[in-house]
């Protein structure tokens, strides 16, 4: 789950990381009012969960409240990387002297958090990382000890941060680490971290990404989720505890277990098509959940055939069969449904499906092949 810049900055503030004064707005009239209240030049910033808002024209400086209002109207009509802009953040404009980068992420290679800094932050950070990786400094954070003072000093030194900012830099890095730990984040990032004309060090932009698997420990954060930014099918899937991820192909898949789901997607590709989705109904899914999963797949208009691939362990094939039949009670799909159910209570499942005039294919191989062939016939 990703947080918006304005949400991230609110959390930064709580942890002692200085941010520009500002407020979020969802109408251009309130943008004008906020700009008046701030009483300075402002920056109007699209709140979308996407990188590169600046380059897309979603971050604009305004000299007057009237200009801020006009710009807000323009920005709120934009889509950035397919995401509609419904809100803007209005911040006091900062006179930027220098843009740095500071963030904490998960280093998957070393299985540790990593703090990353660069003396050259800002909108070109990706290019810098690509073309001059030596300008990006990375230090792993040991889990047992946490972020150590000497590590932060080392970052300050290698980024040539002037000495008078070191104390504040320490506090900011520590704040980021506290947020990373306490919120079960996978990314906390300040880009740019700026030195301002009036000698402040502050987070001009903020990004926090949370680990969905740890969200149950943070009920208060779940409310920060912005459903406008998400796929409606994925939102619906979450309600049923289903793991659904939309893909680009046309073979819908319903599988139990992430490993089998991925293998199923591979098989679809092997036979020459692309999966429309990843969908794991999980272990021990009952008929209700299966029916919901099936409806979700069928609600995607890209889907030209459905492959249901179940290997019953904890999951019972007869429960899955009941769920499928239940869903078919309400919707009559015009596309081929290919079923393969093996394992726990497979015989009972097959019988139920046969009574409902649904054929079950014997092997995984055959099922995947059929699912792909029926797309090409469609």
Query: Could you list the residues that contact ligand GDP (CB under 6 A)?
Result: 43, 45, 52-54, 59, 61, 93-94, 96, 99, 122-123, 191-192, 204-205
Residue 225 binds which of ligand GDP, Mn ion, none (CB < 5-8 A, kind-dependent): none
Candidate residues 205, 250, 280, 318; the one interacting with Mn ion per rule CB under 5 A: 205
Q: Which residue is nearest to ligand GDP (CB)?
A: 54
Owner of token pair 């995607």: 300
Catalytic residue among 69, 99, 101, 209: 101
| Residue 91, strand partner residues | 22, 43
Residue 3 binds which of Mn ion, ligand GDP, none (CB < 5-8 A, kind-dependent): none
Considering only residues 156 to 195 of the shown chain, the ones binding Mn ion according to CB under 5 A are: 191
* Pairing of β 243-246 and β 277-280: antiparallel
Residue 152 binds which of Mn ion, ligand GDP, none (CB < 5-8 A, kind-dependent): none
Q: Which residue is nearest to Mn ion (CB)?
A: 205
Give the integer Cα–Cα distance in Å for 233 and 245. 9
Nearer to ligand GDP, 74 or 263 (CB): 74
Residue 222 binds which of ligand GDP, Mn ion, none (CB < 5-8 A, kind-dependent): none
Give the integer Cα–Cα distance in Å for 180 and 182. 6
Number of neighbouring beta carbons within 10 Å of residue 217: 11
Nearer to ligand GDP, 59 or 268 (CB): 59
Q: Considering the rule CB under 5 A, would residue 151 count as an interface residue with Mn ion?
A: no
Nearer to ligand GDP, 100 or 321 (CB): 100
183 is catalytic: no
* Shortest distance, position 265 Cβ to ligand GDP, whole Å: 32
Nearer to ligand GDP, 91 or 250 (CB): 91
Catalytic residue among 189, 209, 240, 319: 189
User: What amino acid positions are annotated as catalytic residues?
Assistant: 101, 189
Which positions lie near Mn ion, rule CB under 5 A? 191, 205
């Amino acid at each position: 789950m990703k947080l918006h810049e304005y949400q991230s900055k609110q959390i930064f503030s709580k942890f002692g990381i200085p941010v520009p004064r500002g407020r979020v707005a969802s109408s251009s009239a309130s943008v004008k009012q906020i700009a008046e209240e701030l009483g300075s030049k402002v920056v109007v910033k699209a709140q979308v969960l996407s990188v590169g808002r600046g380059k897309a024209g979603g971050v604009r400086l305004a000299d007057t409240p009237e200009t801020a209002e006009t710009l807000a109207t323009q920005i709120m009509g934009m889509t950035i990387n397919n995401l509609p802009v419904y809100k803007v953040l209005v911040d006091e404009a900062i006179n930027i002297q220098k843009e740095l980068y500071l963030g904490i992420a998960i280093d998957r290679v070393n299985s540790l958090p990593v703090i990353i800094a660069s003396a050259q932050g800002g909108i070109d950070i990706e290019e810098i990382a690509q073309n001059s990786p030596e300008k990006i400094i990375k230090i792993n954070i040991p889990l047992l000890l946490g972020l150590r003072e000497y590590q932060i000093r080392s970052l300050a030194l290698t980024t040539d941060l002037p000495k008078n900012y070191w104390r504040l830099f320490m506090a900011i890095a520590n704040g980021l680490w506290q947020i990373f730990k306490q919120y079960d984040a996978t990314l906390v990032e300040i880009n740019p971290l700026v030195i301002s004309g009036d000698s402040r060090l502050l987070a001009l932009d903020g990004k926090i990404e949370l680990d969905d698997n740890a969200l149950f420990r943070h009920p208060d954060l779940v409310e920060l989720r912005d459903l406008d930014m998400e796929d409606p099918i994925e939102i619906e899937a979450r309600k049923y505890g289903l793991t659904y991820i939309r893909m680009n192909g046309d073979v819908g898949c319903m599988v139990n277990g992430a490993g089998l789901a991925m293998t199923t997607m591979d098989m679809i590709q092997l036979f020459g098509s692309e999966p429309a989705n990843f969908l794991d109904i999980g272990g021990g899914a009952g008929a209700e959940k299966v029916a919901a999963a099936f409806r979700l797949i069928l609600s995607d208009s890209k889907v030209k055939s459905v492959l249901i691939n179940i290997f019953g362990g904890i999951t019972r094939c007869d429960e899955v069969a009941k769920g499928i039949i239940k869903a078919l009670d309400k919707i009559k799909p015009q596309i081929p449904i290919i079923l393969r159910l093996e394992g726990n209570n497979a015989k009972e499942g097959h019988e139920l499906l046969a009574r409902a005039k649904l054929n079950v294919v014997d092997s995984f191989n055959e099922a995947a092949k059929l699912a792909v062939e029926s797309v090409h016939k469609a």
